Chains A and B, each alone.
Chain A
């Protein structure tokens, strides 16, 4: 109940933040504009619409996390609203979980809006309902959950700017983490190899959630890939949230 109250308040804050509306409007304009420009795409219009739509989902999702999620916990400490919340019979892990779920709600709204718009465009183009697009959108949402948990972790012990920087760095490196093992194999130093292997296991493998190329070219997303990526994403998120709660529970609020 307390977790839901915190989540609802976080969601309400996101809804009253102009940044979310700017992101929603920009992403929708981008998707719609692909249809307007489709005559220039030499018959590849639908593919471009799907590609741009799904990429926009990931890009604007991570932008929302950086703009709103990176300050999720630190803003409460900075504004001292945390003093009121934690002086109630609320445990610190309930607070962390509530903040995470509230941000997740906001992202889910963004994802659903964009997916519905994308499907509407596909329907209007006479293509019918495209289920693989939904699956790709779902995996992008799982990717955003992972990134939100990372933003919450950094936000629980660092400033908003630091948290935003670290979260973005994780996002970029996370898309190349599978290359890290290949890179490690070519390194001459044993220590450097071990560092690369360590980073591979610590940094999330975000490419697991990227099925855009598959979907854009009309292929379906295999169920085992869908389930494996979802399980991996949820486990990773859970692990990072537990770590965030532990870090946050040790904090002093001066």
Chain B
């Protein structure tokens, strides 16, 4: 039996969390408050949460990564931002204006996932169309922006080619060119690097860096962690429509306790015995001893003890957690809580961290 509107609303209220983070004087470009989207099947009338209780703030001039597995709700969130979908609950703003007002998109450039364009148009014609739709009126401005977009996307020599003849990589770059046509302050890219070859990905990463250097805010979704780690100032991890974790990358990967590996020579047995409570693992490699510490905070104490027992320190290597391990842990934790029938899982209305 389908959920009634009231039931859905109640479960949404339970799932939603407060907006907690602020970034001093930095201006908020994107703000989502308790955002929720329910899709209803037209045949069975069954409701399905695509996004639930999402609180999000993106600040100007940052590269914000929206990380999540396939089907996590990344594209739905972006479409809600752009007014392509209407939220079931909550609110969303671009530059302080709701997406129902087309003016909210005046300073936005958007590249959809697997973009599809008018294949009967030549690239130049398409970009001129996009320029007109972005509100550029004077012919001189239009031609200047078309030329700049073609230059940035590396497609100058393809201006007169029909887009039906474009490869996947070229279509992606054409998508970037149209997104940049109005010299936007906010660039929204949905899975921009999926399906590109390594060179294409490198070129696209360079374009994002260039956009940030030009003062644009970049919001991009991806499930490719390496790209997010390389480019982003802040990251939000979304899974099953809910925000799992968010913040600057350095905070996300340092939040949890990391191990430290110390390699030393001439380590006395008495020192090893004394350090046993701090050591998680001990192994011998040649005439050196490798000590893996349980807690990085004990590093100074362990080094002091080793030095006082006449050991020679060869190396100290802190093992930081990667974004990938944070991501995998967050996503699998959610799956496990589902598998074990955890009543406080997403269906039960667990509170999420906000960004």
Contacts and interface: CB of A to CB of B under 8 A. Distances in A.
Contacts of A2: 132-133, 135
B132 A5 contact: yes
Interface stretch (B13-21, B24-32, B65-73, B99-107): B99-107
Interface stretch (B79-87, B261-269, B291-299, B335-343): B79-87
A29 interface: no
30 contacts: A5-B133, A8-B129, A9-B121, A9-B129, A12-B120, A12-B125, A13-B118, A13-B120, A80-B116, A81-B116, A81-B117, A83-B110, A83-B115, A84-B110, A86-B82, A86-B83, A86-B84, A87-B82, A87-B84, A87-B105, A87-B110, A87-B188, A88-B105, A88-B130, A88-B133, A90-B102, A250-B86, A252-B85, A253-B84, A254-B79
A84 B117 contact: yes
Contacts of A79: 116
Contact of B39 (A85, A87, A254): A254
Interface string A3-37: 01110110011001100000000000000000000
Given A12-B120, A79-B116, A88 B134 contact: yes
Contacts of B118: 9, 13, 81
A253 B135 CA distance: 23
Interface residues of B, number: 34
A39 interface: no
Contacts of B125: 12
Interface string B248-270: 00000000000000000000000
A83 B112 contact: yes
Contacts of B134: 88-89
A16 B103 CA distance: 32
A194 interface: no
A1 interface: yes
Contacts of B106: 89
Interface in B89-108: 102-106, 108
Nearest to B39: A254
B221 to A, nearest CB: 14
A87 B110 CA distance: 7
B327 to A, nearest CB: 26
Given A80-B116, A87-B188, A254-B85, 18 more contacts: A1-B132, A1-B135, A12-B125, A13-B120, A79-B116, A80-B112, A83-B110, A84-B110, A84-B112, A87-B82, A88-B130, A88-B134, A88-B182, A89-B104, A90-B102, A90-B133, A252-B86, A254-B79
Contacts of B114: 80
Interface of A: 1-2, 4-6, 8-9, 12-13, 16-17, 79-81, 83-91, 250, 252-254
Interface of B: 39, 79, 82-86, 102-106, 108, 110, 112, 114-118, 120-121, 125, 129-130, 132-135, 137, 175, 178, 182, 188
Given A84-B178, A89-B102, A1 B83 contact: no
A1 B134 CA distance: 10
A89 B85 contact: no
Contacts of A84: 110, 112, 115, 117, 130, 175, 178
B137 A83 contact: no
Contacts of A87: 82, 84, 105, 108, 110, 112, 188
Contacts of B188: 87
Contacts of A4: 132
Contacts of B132: 1-2, 4-5
B272 to A, nearest CB: 62
A88 B109 CA distance: 8
B219 to A, nearest CB: 13
